[in-house]
Amino acid sequence: MRKNTDFINSCLDITKGTPIPDKFSRWSAISAVAGALGRKCWFSMVNYDIRPNIFVVLIAPPGRNKSVSLILPFSKVFSKLTTPVGTNEDHEEFNSGLIKYGLKNYPLHFIQDRITPEKLAVEMQKVSRLDLRVGSINEMFYDSSLTLVTSEFGTFMNRTSQYLQMFLTDMWDSKESYSHQIKTGSSQFIKGPCLNWIACATPTQFVDNLPEDAASQGLLSRMLPIYHEGTQIPQSLYNNKIDEDQIENLRHDLSMIARMYGEFTVDPEAKDLIEKDFKEYIEPVPTNPNMVEYNQRRVSHFLKIAMSISASRRGTRVITWNDWLRTKEIMFDMEDDMPKALEGFGMSKTGRIAHNMKEWLETTVFNNNRSHVRLKLFKRQLLTKIMSPGEIPQYIQAMEDSGYIRVESELVFLCRKDAI
């Protein structure tokens, strides 16, 4: 029996009143549930299965507690239900916890560190196992589910790596197997791959590290960029430390979610209503040009989140109408801010750097109630984003031509926020 009525909401309640934005607490908890479900749970469509795994990127300016939002669901809860990758499964220290939570034979797998895609593929090979609960005499079920937590998006994402794009799209799809021939002549082969990934980024880091063809190659449409623009919330000496009993209750509940396996279905009473949403493409459909590719996988995203919402509340693997309504509420909120997360994507190098300077200026000028910065400081900041000091004049000219800045007497004035 579970300790809380809703794992996701309980995580949110615990962090209420802290500097962590509610949106980030919610999505971190959703990601934890998705990782606990893994490949052993699915929703069947006509000719393919949808797994609960998601690719989430928490996006906000510096100082908005993006990485802090990962501590409760992952460092304090999820990590206690795992056998660290590469650890001997007979390791007494870790198995004592797994036995306690009923996960000795099927531990979760989790990496919270800097890692290359090639190394990640190797680690997923290591955790591959035959799941006798899900398979049958006629069909063996292999599971290589793994959750990756990267506090800095840019430490994992490489905009020039074609291998990374192909690898991530295949991991999101969670097909029967993955194979890749590497340069050394050897090959990578993963049975039952399923990667659940959550990362953090500033708006600039997100756009700068996305491959230029991330949209056309399908990677961007598989991501859920969670954007938060709110002001920085001050720390407080009066915020209570999270009670250990609350954390233990969350571990208990997530362990019960982790023990779920099999197909998710829709409550018969909700089937016609959800079908109506499908026929209407789950209105309102986003119209932003940068979301065209995302719209093609939108139904899959909604069903992935619906599985986690359902599992967060109960172990029946049934998506109710109330689960679906909550899913739409969360997804619509995410979609409303997605265009802000994608600002600057697809721009030329000049446009992208000018956009980055716009972001820096808004933070420096507006957040400090100023109307200008010194030209010397502006140039110094610009130099951190370009290769050569000789390029500085062309970028300043581009921003002046756009009507965004005005340069007078060695000062740079911010003219309007909606330019560029």
Check pLDDT > 50 for residue 419.
no
248-300 pLDDT per residue, tens? 999 999 999 999 999 999 999 999 999 999 999 999 999 998 899 999 999 99
14-33 pLDDT per residue, tens? 998 888 999 999 999 999 99
What count of Cα atoms within 13 Å lies in the side-chain half-sphere of residue 143? 28
Q: What is the pLDDT of residue 291?
A: 93
Domain-ending residue, one of 317, 341, 365: 341
Nearest CA to 39 out of 217, 222, 190, 214 is that of 190
Check pLDDT > 90 for residue 382.
no
| Mean per-residue pLDDT over the chain, rounded | 88
Angle CA(72)–CA(149)–CA(325) in degrees, nearest 5? 65
2 belongs to a structural domain: no
Q: What is the mean pLDDT of residues 346-364?
A: 75
Q: What is the pLDDT of residue 13?
A: 95
For residues 332 and 373, state if they share a domain: no
Domain-ending residue, one of 314, 341, 368: 341
* Domain that includes residue 228, residue range: 7-341
For residues 77 and 213, state if they share a domain: yes
Residue reference for tokens 């292999």: 142
Q: Kindly state the tokens that stand for 352.
A: 């992208």
If one counts the domains in the chain, the total is 2
Q: What is the mean pLDDT of residues 300-318?
A: 98
81-95 pLDDT per residue, tens? 987 665 555 555 556
Nearest CA to 193 out of 206, 178, 180 is that of 178
Q: What is the pLDDT of residue 420?
A: 45
pTM reported for the whole predicted model: 0.85
For residues 369 and 258, state if they share a domain: no
* Alpha-carbon gap, residue 395 to 392, rounded angstroms: 5
Check pLDDT > 60 for residue 324.
yes
In CATH, what number is assigned to the domain containing residue 102? Answer: 3.40.50
360 belongs to a structural domain: yes
Check pLDDT > 80 for residue 348.
no
For residues 148 and 273, state if they share a domain: yes
Domain-ending residue, one of 316, 341, 366: 341
Taking the chain, what is the end-to-end CA distance rounded to the nearest angstrom?
Answer: 55
Check pLDDT > 90 for residue 312.
yes
Q: What is the pLDDT of residue 415?
A: 78
114-140 pLDDT per residue, tens? 888 888 999 999 999 889 888 765 688
